């Protein structure tokens, strides 16, 4: 299995631009999570999906952030417009409900820099 695949690995964009982060979960996994990691706030959950349906988006910072999961094999996290304080590493993770006890498999992350 290829694991959780995130793209791009690095993204540098100018303030005000739209940014789209992509994630392909492990085939067969029915949960997908988006986390953000910053020095100040550590690893924080942004949103998670179950069977492509958003379950908890309480961690999404503000309306500038949106996430979609149009099918079981693809999810996007979009920031529009981006701001310098959005600079962080964004991780996607997936898991299989019957094996929640096994935790998640994380992607390699997308390092976003907004200048």
Cα atoms in the 13 Å half-sphere on the side-chain side of 39 = 2
96 contacts other proteins (rule: CB under 8 A): no
Could you say which of 7, 31, 54, 78 contacts other proteins (CB under 8 A)? 31
H helix or E strand, kind and range, residue 6: strand 5-7
Say if residues 6 and 22 touch (Cβ distance below 8 Å): yes
Q: Which stretch binds other proteins (CB under 8 A): 17-25, 42-50, 66-74, 75-83?
A: 42-50
Q: Is 115 in the site for other proteins (CB under 8 A)?
A: no
Contacts with other proteins, 46-85, as mask; x by CB under 8 A:
--x-x----xx-----------------------------
Q: Alpha carbon of 102 to those of 20, 42, 93, 95, 105: distances in Å?
A: 29, 22, 12, 8, 9
CB of 99 to other proteins, least distance (A): 10
């Amino acid at each position: 299995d290829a694991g959780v695949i995130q793209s791009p690995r690095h993204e540098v964009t100018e303030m005000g631009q739209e940014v789209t982060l992509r994630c392909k979960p492990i085939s067969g996994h029915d949960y997908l999570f988006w986390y953000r990691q910053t020095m100040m706030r550590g690893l924080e959950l942004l949103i998670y999906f179950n069977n492509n349906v958003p379950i908890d988006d309480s961690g999404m910072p503000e309306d500038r952030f949106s996430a979609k999961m149009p099918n079981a094999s693809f999810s996007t996290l979009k920031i529009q417009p981006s701001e310098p304080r959005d600079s962080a590493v964004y991780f996607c993770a997936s898991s299989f409900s019957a094996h929640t006890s096994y935790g998640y498999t994380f992607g390699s992350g997308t390092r976003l820099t907004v200048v």
